[in-house]
Structure 1
């Protein structure tokens, strides 16, 4: 707290002390930031699941006009409960146009006709690509921070992500395991995918590279078993097969070679987008590695 002798007794003294006060602030390493008022912040609509989650993390609630049709899907959306407080959009251009947003955030592969129509109507459509590396993830968080005019929040989220990487790396460093990320019907996430990047960031090896599936692709049951990864990485850990796609993962051969002690389970909602949810995914990965190593 400043001593009373620094307080001016008149306007003239105040003006005279202003340069000294600014110099003191600079010496202390502080900044005189210009506050951003609510009226200066953009009003934003999201038409993509992944931009939904970046937007909810970094924007003020008052900035969010609406979210994508899948925003409340508890399987896909990391923050489905929070998304329920915002309007759910249809995914078409008409309801977005009615909102008159300052900015529309979308994925590069969001329905093209919708994106083009919004652009034709002279709306500011900001598109985010699918991240394929952790550096891509960091850049997208920073970009959304700039879009919503809260760059400090973006920096804080990246710090959380980097801390989670360090925690998971400390656990994974015990052994350079080979992990095969496997989904329904035998889909393998490639070594050059976001999942592959997540594994590499903590020192694990993607077995997809040995199968020649850098970008991802389907693999037969025989190929998967022959690859002999140390662990399978799955999004579900129960034994219920609601359809043939899920039944593939419960095939007796896979269950025989890969019982629960050989399966790492991270829910889909933590892995399907590049953003703040990845910090939770990394902590879950570390916990799963500790479980199977017991």
Structure 2
């Protein structure tokens, strides 16, 4: 046998041995995993174990913090100092995690919960690795929120908590409705970026639930849109509702439309109520509380006007 042939033969034999060793290790790991699953399986009559979860963004965090047990939470994206999180007080002491795939995989979660975290391919990526993903979707109505709460509670093995959150939301909506009158004050929603919200948005749903007429939805206008400055001058609203002005990353600068003289004049002369941006950041059950608070504050400021 030539020297070259001997080298090729030795290399091929080594490759075969390495492949065989790899197969043996994979079979061993698979057998161990199957054995562990069998041992960990629920006994007859016992409840199945609830999934251990990782949350990839602050909207997903809201649901995980409200619905999951502490020992289910392997990691969330926000902490007690995150302004966008309405549930930030519940985040204290919870493990935090980056949305980087290697960090998530290292925790070996049973479930990944996300809204926008991880990017558009996150679901495909994790499910290829055998990790289920629960997407919250993007709610545009309180009915959507009910469906999201129910589905997420089911995915987390906490259906009773989901039902309780929906009952809490419906109670707040009922209370807001009881305080409304036939006279629906015309209101304009204003953000630091100079946009407002027409029909087909959760902000519109909040305003309607609070018993207001949303000026930005007149004529069937829908979605997010620039503030109607001309309409604001010709037909000023009875009330201005602001959102996100309390957020440090949403400061009004020199170029902001909210610095327009017409709008600044209206903000100075029109009764105004300010909403906590954290409760507007994600479509969730607590938006019903926002509607109730908005109605109560509106009643006070409208009564105080000269």
Q: Same fold (TM over 0.5)?
A: yes
Secondary structure at 1:65 match in 2: strand
CA contact 2:177–2:211 (8 Å) conserved in 1: yes
Name which of structure 1's ranges 57-66 and 216-225 shifts more when overlaid on structure 2: 216-225
CA contact 1:76–1:272 (8 Å) conserved in 2: yes
CA-atom RMSD, angstroms?
2.7
Looking at structure 2, the residues matched to 170 and 135 of structure 1 have their Cα atoms a distance apart, in angstroms, of: 19
Distance 1:117 1:236, change over 3 A: closer
CA contact 2:196–2:225 (8 Å) conserved in 1: yes
Looking at structure 1, the residues matched to 281 and 269 of structure 2 have their Cα atoms a distance apart, in angstroms, of: 22
Q: Does 1:274 align with 2:289?
A: no
CA contact 1:184–1:246 (8 Å) conserved in 2: no
CA contact 2:176–2:292 (8 Å) conserved in 1: yes
Moved over 6 A (4+): none
Name 1:102's counterpart in structure 2.
Answer: 110
Name 1:53's counterpart in structure 2.
Answer: 62
Q: CA deviation at 1:229?
A: 2.5
Name 1:119's counterpart in structure 2.
Answer: 127
Q: 2:188 aligns with which of 165, 173, 180?
A: 180
Bigger Cα Rg: 2
Equivalent residue pairs, number: 257
Q: 1:217 aligns with which of 225, 243, 267?
A: 225
Looking at structure 1, the residues matched to 291 and 255 of structure 2 have their Cα atoms a distance apart, in angstroms, of: 24
Looking at structure 2, the residues matched to 116 and 61 of structure 1 have their Cα atoms a distance apart, in angstroms, of: 27
Unaligned runs of at least 5 residues, structure 2:
1-44
CA contact 1:186–1:220 (8 Å) conserved in 2: no
CA contact 1:186–1:249 (8 Å) conserved in 2: yes
Name 1:93's counterpart in structure 2.
Answer: 101
Calculate the TM-score normalised by the size of structure 2: 0.74
Q: 2:240 aligns with which of 214, 228, 232?
A: 232
Secondary structure at 1:188 match in 2: strand
